[in-house]
Structure 1
Amino acid sequence: MRVIAIIAAFLLLAGCGGSNQTADTKLPSAPTTSTAAPTLTAPPVAQRYPTVEALKDAALAAGLSCPSWVQDNVVQAAAESGTCSDDTVLSTYATDADLQFALENLQGMNEMMKEKNVPVGPQLIGANWIINAPGADGLASKLGGTVER
């Protein structure tokens, strides 16, 4: 739900930036030296993954290091979860409510760790998944999602 709310807010803001100039009152544009049209690239939209194995495969293709994969399904509220190492956990969720529950738990754990001056690594949150790993923020450009710390 949080990701949907962020996207909705972005779309609302993007739609508000209209121009007050009419065709008759437009100012001449500055001359350009390039005739090529600019290419706009947006970050990828985070897709849903049917299994944690599919998420892991996409994360590996995006550059995640996963030296020893173990699907253990121990993350609370997750449909499936697994680890690549002591500090890398991947999880998928069956419902938005399950994902929201996991995010609230993760936020609480992060706050406790910060209070104890323990560094908190980035988490990459997608449509129905979370990657909690060092360097997870570097995967966002390929997988989409939102980086949280």
Structure 2
Amino acid sequence: MRLLATIIAAVLLLAGCGTDDKQTAESTPAPTSPAGPPTAEKYQTVEALKDAAVGFGLSCPSWVQDNAVQAAAESGTCSDDSVLSTYATDADLQFALENLQGMNEMAKENNVPVDPQLIGPNWIINAPGADKLAGKLGGTVER
């Protein structure tokens, strides 16, 4: 199984070489693995992440890319309670996850509901219903 995953990764890597078509790399739906849910993709832009999420059912009535999330390469909001962000490095993503975890703990201590977060390899969707996107986008659901 690990050999098959390595071969698939190598084929996908080689398939991406020599193309300037950002649309393909930015918005390709996550493939479904034979063993379960899709493998989460990396997104080059927060706009591409938003487009994929909306395509799979995320409500996004008023998109604003504001790049306000600390440590994010790009970020934006779909509404007052929906934030999407992409990260340039694993360290930036981990920093954001630690901050998010701290905010979630404070909210829970104050009996404030916490929306689920869907975390991918270089992105976070923090929005009501984000957990419902995991079957299409891949990623890990956190609360």
Compute the TM-score of the two structures, normalised by the length of structure 2.
0.76
Residue type matched to 2:105 in 1? E
Q: Pick one of 104, 117, 124 that aligns with 1:123.
A: 117
Residue type matched to 1:94 in 2? A
Determine the structure 2 residue equivalent to 1:88: 82
For residues 58 and 35 of structure 2, what CA distance do their matches in structure 1 show? 22
Q: 5 Å matches for 1:35-74? A: 40=34, 42-74=36-68
SS in 2 for 1:147: strand
Determine the structure 1 residue equivalent to 2:26: none
Determine the structure 2 residue equivalent to 1:110: 104
For residues 53 and 77 of structure 1, what CA distance do their matches in structure 2 show? 17
Residue type matched to 1:93 in 2? Y
Determine the structure 2 residue equivalent to 1:139: 133
Work out whether 1:78 is the aligned partner of 2:102.
no
For residues 83 and 115 of structure 2, what CA distance do their matches in structure 1 show? 11
TM superposition shift of 1:42: 1.2
Unmatched 5+ stretches in structure 2: 1-33
Determine the structure 2 residue equivalent to 1:10: none
TM superposition shift of 1:41: 5.1
- Greater alpha carbon shift after TM alignment, 100-109 vs 40-49: 40-49
Structure 1 or 2: more helix by fraction: 2
For residues 137 and 48 of structure 1, what CA distance do their matches in structure 2 show? 18
For residues 136 and 41 of structure 1, what CA distance do their matches in structure 2 show? 22
Structure 1 residue ranges (4+ consecutive) displaced by more than 2 angstroms after TM superposition: none
Work out whether 1:148 is the aligned partner of 2:138.
no
Say how many residue pairs are matched.
110
Question: What is the RMSD of the two structures over their aligned residues, measured on CA atoms?
Answer: 0.7
For residues 105 and 41 of structure 1, what CA distance do their matches in structure 2 show? 32
For residues 101 and 81 of structure 2, what CA distance do their matches in structure 1 show? 16
Compute the TM-score of the two structures, normalised by the length of structure 1.
0.73
